[in-house]
Amino acid sequence: MTQTTTLIPYGTTGNTAVGWRQRLLRNPLSNGLLPWLLPLGLLALWQTGASQGWISPQVLPPPGWVVQTLADTARNGELWINVEASMRRVLLGFLAGATLGLLLGCAMGLSRRLEAYLLPTFNALVQIPVLGWLPFVLLIVGIGEPLKYILIAKAALVPVTLNTLQGFRQIPAAYREVAQVYGYTRRQEVLEVVLPLATPTLFTGLRLGFTKAWLSLVVVELVASSEGLGYMIVYGRQLFQLDLVMAAVIVVGAIGYLIDRGLNLLEIKLIGSRPSAGLGASL
């Protein structure tokens, strides 16, 4: 008796689960929905726990309370006043820290001697967290706005500097050698060879720098502030209005996410519209 073997197409019968998973991952609509599965699941669990009375509303307010509080603070202007204060602080602090970080990283990237002088001390100082600098800076500038700007700038300075230095150091030596063969000046080499190749790493540093600045903003406002999103969190906790606390936390997360996405789109636009190196076009 001859035994016949039936070939099973891939993705059917025995491989149904595998084929279904591959079709799901290839579907653009499914890819857009996948990141929302966990947040929606947590929201459903939150709503279920609140409606079933698993946790007291005073400890975990229902989602409806949080939405209503968010709408009320937006309607009476309280939310926008605090958002404006936080955005002003983080943008000014981030711009100061990122600018200094780019200059410092470029300087060390272009000079091995300067890197040998500065990098060990820099690496030692950056190990101190933002709250560790708070008492020292507080004694120098007081509890006003300069305190917040300095600490936010310090938080952004670290990743921007280190990523800028890494971007300069990862350029293959062959590119610089070819630039010298073509008679590039030092300025042309930096602007047309080094910076274009280092741009992806620089943007990574800027995104990390903003993330650190945003987190430091909330920490600073939790400790010393009379306005801002961090202040809203502290104020709500003091009054035991956890719906206000959660509303402020949602706004903090949403703003941070939107700005990070904006930086990501800017990175894609800039890097995608320019060659990987100015020298490459002439070879």
- Higher-confidence residue of 66 and 26: namely 66
49 lies in a domain? no
pLDDT at 99 (0 to 100): 93
Mean pLDDT of the 121-145 span: 83
Residue 122 falls within a domain, yes or no?
yes
pLDDT for 93 = 92
Mean pLDDT for the stretch of residues 179-188: 73
* 105: in domain: yes
Q: Percentage of the chain with pLDDT > 90?
A: 11
Q: In this structure, is residue 34 part of a structural domain?
A: no
Domain membership flag for residue 77: yes
What pLDDT is recorded for position 35? 72
Residue with tokens 């579907």: 27
- Has residue 163 got a pLDDT over 60? yes
- Contact (Cβ atoms closer than 8 angstroms) between residue 271 and residue 203: yes
User: Where residue 153 falls among pLDDT bands split at 50, 70, 90?
Assistant: very high
Q: What percent of the chain has pLDDT over 70?
A: 84
Number of Cβ within a 10 Å radius of residue 74:
14
Residue 208 forms part of a structural domain: yes
Q: What is the pLDDT of residue 281?
A: 37
CB 279 within 8 A of CB 175: yes
d(CA 247, CA 269): 33
Q: Rounded CA gap, 73 and 229, in Å?
A: 12
Map tokens 């035991």 to a residue.
240
What is the rounded average pLDDT for all residues in the chain? Answer: 78
Counting beta carbons within 10 angstroms of the beta carbon of residue 10, is it exposed (0 to 12), middle (13 to 18) or buried (19 or more)?
exposed
Q: Is the pLDDT of residue 241 over 50?
A: yes
pLDDT surpasses 70 at 200: yes
Residue 29 pLDDT grade (very low, low, confident, very high; cuts 50, 70, 90): low
Answer for the pair 245, 58: CB distance below 8 angstroms, yes or no: no
Cβ atoms 267, 210 nearer than 8 A: no
| Domain housing 217 | 63-282
Number of domains composing the chain: 1
Distance CA 233, CA 230 (A): 5
Look at 111 and 83; give whichever has higher pLDDT.
Answer: 83
pLDDT for residue 21 is more than 80:
no
pLDDT surpasses 60 at 19: no
Mean pLDDT of 245-252: 89
* Assigned domain for 140 exists: yes
CATH of the domain at 186: 1.10.3720.10
Is there a domain that residue 130 lies in?
yes
